[in-house]
Structure 1
Amino acid sequence: MSVILMTAALALPGASSAGSAGLTAAPVGTRAMWLWDDDPATEVVDWAVRKNVSEIFVYVSPSVLTNGDLARLQEMHELATARKIKLRALGGDPGWVTDQAAALAWQRAAVSTGLFSGIHLDVEPYLAPGWTSDLQGTQNAYLKLLDRMRLASTLPLEADVPFWFGDYKVGRKNLADEVLRRVNAVTVMSYRDTGTGVNSMLSISQDWLARGKAAGKRVRLGAETGPLTDCSYCTFAEEGEARLQEELAEVDAATRTTAAFAGIAVHHYGAWQALPL
């Protein structure tokens, strides 16, 4: 998951805007995490239990059915289910904006395993070449991709999004609103090393939280734990685990009346478990 451009600016499948009726903030301490590597299932689930993680976004290779990784994922599903932890199939590539057949093939493979309760996309269209050469065309292609993936499966569809999508227009429509129309929930890459206050996880996510409330869609915030040479204030890599927990607790406390708030996802397992205490 890239942070390029991240510092540039300070349900039911197919459902459209439904308003905020019925939305309430997630319980205090609601956590998710990304898992990009092939770490042992037992270690991952044990960590998730210790950290109160109720959803894991598990990277699924396009060749999952043939590369020998299925057994590990099956074990993870069995262990996670026993602890009431949901697994979401994680995948994405900026190239999927134009090669949508590859995206749909990946989705079919992930869904066919029967191991996942949802699809979690990390496509990041702003890393595609067309973002600079054909912005409107690339944005429209990305929205078409979301449409096609939503219609291709009955599983809920979620997407990782940068906090600044609301600054962009697709024709006369707002890009963030158009994304929300097509997905069940979003996770904002709200990468900052403070939870609240100026230039914090919460402050840079306010636009998405407001739009999510209006659309009746859940908005999860993201916290980075890996080292970032281009943005030291975007990660908790230096601050460590104790500071991470303090700041996430501040976000929890500040969002009790924020209807769309869906909790916090930590990026990512490999870096999180390596944080200094």
Structure 2
Amino acid sequence: MSVTLMAAALALPAASSAGSAGLTPAPAGTRAMWLWGDPPAAEVVDWATRRNVSEIFVHVSPDVFTNGDLARIQEMKARATPLKIKLRALGGDPAWVTDHAAALRWQRTVVSTGLFSGIHLDVEPYLTPAWTTNLAGTQTAFLKLLDKLRLGSTLPLEADVPFWYGEYKIGGKNFADEVLRRVNAVTVMSYRDTATGPNSIVAISQDWLTRGRAAGKRVRLGAETVPLPDCAHCTFAEEGATRLQEELAKVDAATRTASAFGGIAIHRYGTWRALPS
């Protein structure tokens, strides 16, 4: 679908970029993972080490200082750092599209812990009713949110994105490009259970990889392990761990000439660990 909408483009400076000429594909086997919930730190870091995970997107509650979870994340940081595993603070709520104050409060909390090497934003504006009733306004509000979060700390800002943002326009500009301009990197929710070919992980990510190269921004590809009854071809829940490993190796091979390729992120730790062999 191609949607052209008129909305005022924001004119703040873009997030820093390495420049497309300086990008090279991430080494084969580069992995990250989303971590929701509160599994033991030692268990998580051990799994990450054995699966070559170099970045963990750790969900951080807005009330992390009062809910008792800070100690677990501190332990995770202490265990991960000697192993060169980075922790990125994962957070997001569709309500943040318009409630920027809540998002900024969360960001300040994250920064004050001193535990994270970046912000990993999971805000999906298309889950709000306004995406249907006021698309241009919702897109503009989301871009303003990214602007505020980028300026709100010195930590690199990354965002989860669907593969189809490039099909939309905002103020005569491509929406995916406008998102890229405001972040340091993106992770594409390229949820398919085949690596290459029609409707595969690589195929549906090509638009972002091309835009990332032009913008000089890293583009991670995502793989799903959560059971999805309504979209069996979107997840490896049925195929299992061996098939996941085989297909992700094919993704690595297929992206050797994609300079923006930043590795693969697996969603999510709990269901990944529980996959049948």
Contact 2:17–2:184 (CA under 8 A) maintained in structure 1 = no
CA distance in 1, matches of 2:83, 2:112: 23
Gaps of 5+ in 2: 1-12
Matches of 1:241 and 1:109 in 2, distance apart? 36
| 1:187 corresponding residue in structure 2 | 187
Asked if 1 retains the 8 angstrom alpha-carbon contact of 2:15 and 2:150, the reply is: no
Aligned partner letter, 1:26: A
Q: Secondary structure at the match of 1:202?
A: helix
Judging changes above 3 Å, is the alpha-carbon distance between structure 1 residues 14 and 74 closer, same or farther for their aligned structure 2 residues? farther
| Paired position in structure 1 for 2:157 | 157
Q: Deviations over 1:167-202 (max 9, x none)?
A: 000110000000000000000000000011111000
The alpha-carbon deviation at position 14 of structure 1 amounts to 4.7
Shift of 1:154: 0.0
Deviation at 1:18, TM superposition (A): 6.2
Q: For 1:168 and 1:16, how far apart are their aligned partners in 2? A: 24
In structure 1, runs of 5+ residues without a counterpart are 1-12
Alignment of 1:53-68 (within 5 A): 53-68=53-68
Q: What letter matches 1:123 in structure 2? A: V
CA contact (8 A) 1:212 1:218 kept: yes
2:79 aligned with 1:79, yes or no? yes
Q: In the alignment, which residue of structure 2 is the partner of 1:3?
A: none
Q: Distance in 1 between matches of 2:185 and 2:58?
A: 17
Counting aligned pairs with the same residue, the percent is: 78
- Does 2:208 align with 1:208? yes
Q: How many aligned residue pairs are there?
A: 265
SS in 1 for 2:22: coil
* Structure 2 counterpart of 1:155, one-letter code: L
1:84–1:163 CA distance, 2 compared to 1 (3 A): same
1:135 pairs with 2:139: no
Q: Name the residue aligned to 2:39.
A: 39
Aligned to 1:10: none
Where 1:65 maps in the other structure, the secondary structure is coil
| 2:35 partner amino acid | L
The residue that corresponds to 1:224 in the other structure is 224
Cα distance in 2, alignment partners of residues 170 and 60 from structure 1: 31
Tell me the residue number matched to 1:23: 23
Residue 79 and residue 18 in structure 1: after superposition, are their counterparts in 2 closer, same or farther (change >3 A)?
Answer: closer
Measure how far apart 1:15 and its partner are: 2.8
The residue aligned with 2:8 is none
User: Does structure 2 conserve the Cα–Cα contact (< 8 Å) formed by 1:16 and 1:215?
Assistant: no
Return structure 1 stretches of 4+ with deviation > 2 angstroms: 13-19
Give the whole-Å Cα distance in 2 for the aligned partners of 1:18 and 1:200.
28
